[in-house]
Structures are given as C-alpha cells and as structure tokens.
Structure 1
Amino acid sequence: MIRTMALALVAFIAAAPVQAQQLDKISIVVFGPPSLGAFLPPVIKARKLDEKNGLAITFEERTPDAYTAQFNSGEFKVGGSAALLTVGLADLRGVKVAYLFNLFDYWGGVVTSRSEINAIKDLEGKDIAAAKGTTNYVMFDWFARQLGADTAKFSVVNTATPGLVGYALADRATAVQLWEPAYTTLHAKKPGVRLLDLKIKESWQQFAGSTSIPYLGLAAHLDWIQQNKPLIPRLYAAYKEAATWVAANPDEAAILIAAKGSSDDRKAIAELVRANDRLGMHVRSAGDLGPEIKAVYNAGKTLGFLSSEPSPVTIYRDPM
C-alpha cells in the first residue's frame, strides 16, 4: 500500500512539469494603461483564463508608436491593441495581417476646461493634445469633419496615451482628445472637465446604416495564423470569458483594471463597465462583423488615411 502511494506521488510530481509545458505560449503586444488594450489583460492573468484555455499569454506593453512599429515589423506576431484602421493600413503597406476579433467598439471624446470652447469647430486655430499616432484620433478626425470642423486648422500637440490625462489635469492645452478608460480616470480626478459632443451614433448611422463601429481588437500576422490556427478559438475564448466576467463583476474587475489607481478611480471604472456606453465592450469574431468592418475602412478612405480598400484577408473569417 505504501509502495503504491509512493509510486503515485512520484508519478504526480513527474507529470506536473509536463502539464505546465503543455500550455501554448503566446506573446501579445498591447498599449500601456490607461488604454482599452490594457483593459482585459490583467483580468485574463489574474483569473488565469489563458491557462484555463491551454495558453500561457505574455502581455508586453508599448506606446502607440512603438506598438505599431514592432507589430508591423513582425517583432510581435500578435497585437492586442489592434485598431481596425491600423490593420487596414498595414495591409496596404504590404504587411500581411488579419483582424481576428473585436473587443471594443469606437468611442472617443474631446475634453476642455476652457469656457470659450463649446463645440468641436471652436478648436480651429487652437491647440489640442492628442495621441496622433492612434486610430482613435483618426476616427475622431472623421467625426469632427462630419460636424463641419476643419481639422487641418487644429494645432495638435502629439503625446503618448499615458500623457493625455496629465495634459487635461494641468490644463496645458485648449482641449485633449482621449478615450476610455482615460476619460473615466480623468473625470474622477477632475469632475468639472467638459466633454464636447461628437454625435458619434448619429453620424455613423447616417454614414453606415448602423451604430456598431468595430474599433479595437486582436490582430495577427498571416504566417502566425497559418501556423497557430488551433490557438485562435482558445485565445478568443480567454478574452470572451474575461469580458463576460468583467460585465458581471464590475467592482471586482475595477480592482484588477485600476490596480495602481485610487478608490475613486476604481469606482469610476466600475460605473463605466456598468453603463458600457462609452466603453463599448463588444467581443465578436471579425467574420461576424464583415459589413461593419468595411464601413470603417470606407471612413478611412474618405479621410485619405487608407488609399484603397484593404484586402478581404484582413478580416479573419474562420469560426471561433
């Protein structure tokens, strides 16, 4: 009996490293917080949703410009802050990539503390702080034009996403263009800041016949996709389960998402999750969003951001 138990214990110890080695490793580059790309990764890791789905995910944080350079070069084969327009632009420049699935629909905003600024058009001839290298700014440009603003007359002070909240807190620019969760973080610290109305839903409904705007998700290089197709549904499952848990447990999720924030920051994040109007958390496979993705590409073409229609292969259509 003792010998049998000893053999069983040896077998268990020997098997443990093997089981750990069976996790498929994926390195994913994402924007640093506060950003949508950094919203779900701490939840995935804390709740071990990657391991649950047979994966060992390493999230590597980068600034927007560094993210684009390192993902497009293939230094990172999978990007977790993949803005849809960036995927389309990469394709037109010869970088073979595909949008795997959507995580968040578009929302962007412009905030100001200046009493003389009451509409987007009022920013003509004024300075605006923005992460100009992001497609959130490109989409903002499109929406601003729909409201009659000449965005060429904006004096854009380019900064990395973590610096946007600081600009707004210090009132260092006439206005600041940002998105979630940065806006919620800012509003918790500076409740008096005003949000200018971009009329996003109205403009998009008129342009695309829909209110769904696929914006940010996961993308990967085509060579990686061909070599790792069985991992993609599991990767999707990890993110989908994280989003479902966040929606059901906003207070607990806020502790993970705003780990370095104050109690007020976490309360604001929890309220953001509950409302979901600005957060736009919407996990769907790219194949289920084909018409909506093409509408975003068309918006990019009207701006001249995209010179032509990106390849159909940029929309990953295999089932999840």
Structure 2
Amino acid sequence: MSKLQSARFSTVRFPARLAAAGLAAAMCVTAPASAFAQGLEKLSIVVFGAPSLGAFLPPIIKAQKLDEKQGLSITFDERTPDAYTAQFNSGEYQLGGSAALLTVGLADLRGVKVTYLFNLFDFWGAVVTSRPDVQTLKDLEGKELAAAKGTTNYVMFDWLARQHGVDTSKIAVVNTATPGLVGYALADRAAAVQLWEPGYTSLRAKKPSIRTLDLKIQESWKKFSGTSDIPYLGVAAHTAWAEKNRHLVPKLYAAYKEAAAYIAANPDEAVKLIAPKANADDQKALADLIRANDRLGLNVRWAAQSAKEINAVYEAGKSIGFLPGTPSAATIHDGGGK
C-alpha cells in the first residue's frame, strides 16, 4: 500500500472508529439511566388544578425530581373538585393529593375506606367584602355570600360563623366553583365572598381596597379544641392500597416533605414553577405568602402526629351536621409514629 493510500485509509477509518467508540460510550451512559427509570415505582395521584393548595407541591416535586430521588415516578393528574371527589372515592385513583380532612371523614362514614396519610396545609379561610353595610359576620344574615359550598373550607367557615352567633341558615349562599370566587369579589356580585389561599392573595393583589372580616380563627379553635393547629388538606389513600404498599408511603411523604422545604427556602424560584403564567406582581405576592406562611399554613406532618387535632376537626364537622357520625380511627394513618 502506498503512503498516500495509507493516509487516505487512516483518514477514513479513524472517524469511523471514533463514532463506534462514541456509540459504545453513549450506550454505557444511557443503559443505566433506562434501567433506573424502569426501576421506579409508578404512582398516579389525582389533585385539584391550579389555583389551589393541592397544586402547590406537585410542580416542585417534578421539577426537582424529588419523586425519583425516593425511587418513585409520580404522575399528577389535575381535576376539578367534583371530578376529583368522584374519581378518588370510586377508587379510580388510589391516591389523592388534594384530600380535605372533612371530606375524608365523610367518605369513611359513607362506606369508602380511605385514610389520611399526612397533612400538607393547615386551615385558613377568609370572608371579603366591598360593601359598606357588611362590617361583621353577623351582617351577612339576609345577604348573599358567594362561596364554594361543597368544600371543606366553606364547612369550616360555617362552623366559625356559628361560634360568633351567626345564623348561617339566613345567609343566601351563591354556590360557585373555586376558580370563580376571585371573579365574584372583583365584580362585587355578592355582598361578600368566602375564599382561601392562594385565591385570597391573588385577589388582594388585584383589589387591595377589599376588606377582610375577622373570623377569629385561632381564638375560636383554641377555645373549642385546646389546640392551635387545624389539619386541613393533605394526601389520602384508599386503605387497602396503604396497607398493601406500606413501604411506599414513607417515600411519598419524603418527596412532599422535601418539596415543602424547597418552597420555604426558595420562595422566589418556587413561585415560577407553581404559577409560571402569573405576572410579576402576582408571583411576588405568592412569594411573600410563602415567606409569611401564616395564611398559607404549609405544615407537612404525619397524620398520626396530629391525631388529637384531626379528631377535633371531626368534632367540629359533627357539631354542625356535616358529619353524621365519628369517622373511624383507620382514617388517621399510623405511619410516622405519634
């Protein structure tokens, strides 16, 4: 072979050898990643769509891959509140990430065996108004109140109002879906609006002049229960699933717990994931909400660690006829100790 032929041979074959080596290297890199993905436990969790408390943590879990860190691959499926309840209670979804505590208790009393795994947010709610003739909760009697009547937040408002001597049967409730509450308040279409976070912060950013009636939440709750925390919304599962998959429950808890820690430590970055389409002012308001945490109530803890408080919430629901009895002890998951 001539020197020229030898040079041409080297020029042609050397890149080919490089390509082969590169392909082999790529196979070495991608094969373990594929194997890792195949080894993840797949979970499907139904949640409320944004804006809602149930939509706060899922985007953080996925963006930071906190589920994969725990050996899980979680799919979060967003639904309206009515669809959420129907699909979770029917067992179509074994896990619910927008599980309001009183709704869990009611499902149990209706024969749906479910358990509250862990808490995510404590209760906070508000009544707002622009009307000069509504200065106290008592002033709502004989007037229209826009509210999402089927929600646990409204039920807790009903309980609180009665603690102040309000006859809630005299309030004409205009029932609307959760996303419509801010619109009602902005348009002043009812004497007052009952809502909670993150809708409240969004409303105040758009209409700073709106007034908030004092519900005296902590004062009333402390007097009734002797406790300060009000477990409100968390993650629930069908009892059979929880018993069969006890090894997965701590992993699920750890993913949510780390997401909550990330939000608390990085509020400005977190809101860009939670509300990516919100404008700068709304994102700043959400970041401030996270920093204060007084209204957001982010408080991730095992249900078993709040058994006393959960039973107090059940008693509040019973006292106004929302719960027809006492939910079973099995609705409070025993994971995580006490």
TM-score by length of 1: 0.96
SS of the residue aligned with 1:56?
strand
How far, CA to CA, are the matches of 2:80 and 2:175 in structure 1? 12
Matched, 1:79 2:96: yes
Partners of 2:201 and 2:289 within 8 A in 1: yes
How far, CA to CA, are the matches of 1:276 and 1:50 in structure 2? 24
How far, CA to CA, are the matches of 1:267 and 1:14 in structure 2? 42
Partner of 2:110: 93
**Cα deviation digits, residues 136-181 of structure 1 (max 9, x gap):** 1001100010011111111111111111111111111111110001
Question: How many Å apart are 1:6 and its aligned residue?
Answer: 6.9
Matched, 1:230 2:220: no
Partner of 2:8: none
How far, CA to CA, are the matches of 2:50 and 2:25 in structure 1? 46
Partner of 2:172: 155
SS of the residue aligned with 2:32?
helix
Matched, 1:240 2:257: yes
Partners of 2:305 and 2:336 within 8 A in 1: no
**Cα deviation digits, residues 232-254 of structure 1 (max 9, x gap):** 11111111001111111111112
Partner of 2:284: 267
User: Partner letter of residue 290 of structure 2?
Assistant: V
Partners of 2:119 and 2:303 within 8 A in 1: yes
Decide which of 187, 190, 194 is 1:170's aligned counterpart.
Answer: 187
Partner of 1:254: 271
- Largest Rg, 1 or 2: 2
User: Partner letter of residue 252 of structure 1?
Assistant: E
Partner of 1:10: 27
Partners of 1:110 and 1:178 within 8 A in 2: yes
How far, CA to CA, are the matches of 2:190 and 2:303 in structure 1? 37
Judged with a 3 Å threshold, the aligned counterparts in structure 2 of structure 1 residues 7 and 259 are, in CA distance, closer, same or farther, namely closer
User: Partner letter of residue 281 of structure 2?
Assistant: D
Question: How many Å apart are 1:11 and its aligned residue?
Answer: 4.1
Partner of 1:184: 201
Partner of 1:49: 66
User: Partner letter of residue 201 of structure 2?
Assistant: T
Which of structure 1's runs of 4+ aligned residues deviate more than 6 A? 1-6
- Structure 1 stretch 269-278 or stretch 26-35: which is displaced more? 26-35
How far, CA to CA, are the matches of 2:30 and 2:96 in structure 1? 36
Identity %: 68
**Cα deviation digits, residues 243-270 of structure 1 (max 9, x gap):** 1111111111121122121111111101
Question: How many Å apart are 1:226 and its aligned residue?
Answer: 2.1
Q: Report the count of equivalent residues.
A: 320
Q: Which runs of 5+ in 2 are unaligned?
A: 1-16
How far, CA to CA, are the matches of 1:176 and 1:9 in structure 2? 58
Judged with a 3 Å threshold, the aligned counterparts in structure 2 of structure 1 residues 42 and 4 are, in CA distance, closer, same or farther, namely closer
After superposition, the CA RMSD in angstroms is 1.7
Judged with a 3 Å threshold, the aligned counterparts in structure 2 of structure 1 residues 230 and 152 are, in CA distance, closer, same or farther, namely same
User: Partner letter of residue 230 of structure 1?
Assistant: H
TM-score by length of 2: 0.91
Partners of 1:32 and 1:162 within 8 A in 2: no
User: Partner letter of residue 239 of structure 1?
Assistant: Y
- Structure 1 stretch 18-27 or stretch 275-284: which is displaced more? 18-27
How far, CA to CA, are the matches of 2:38 and 2:188 in structure 1? 51
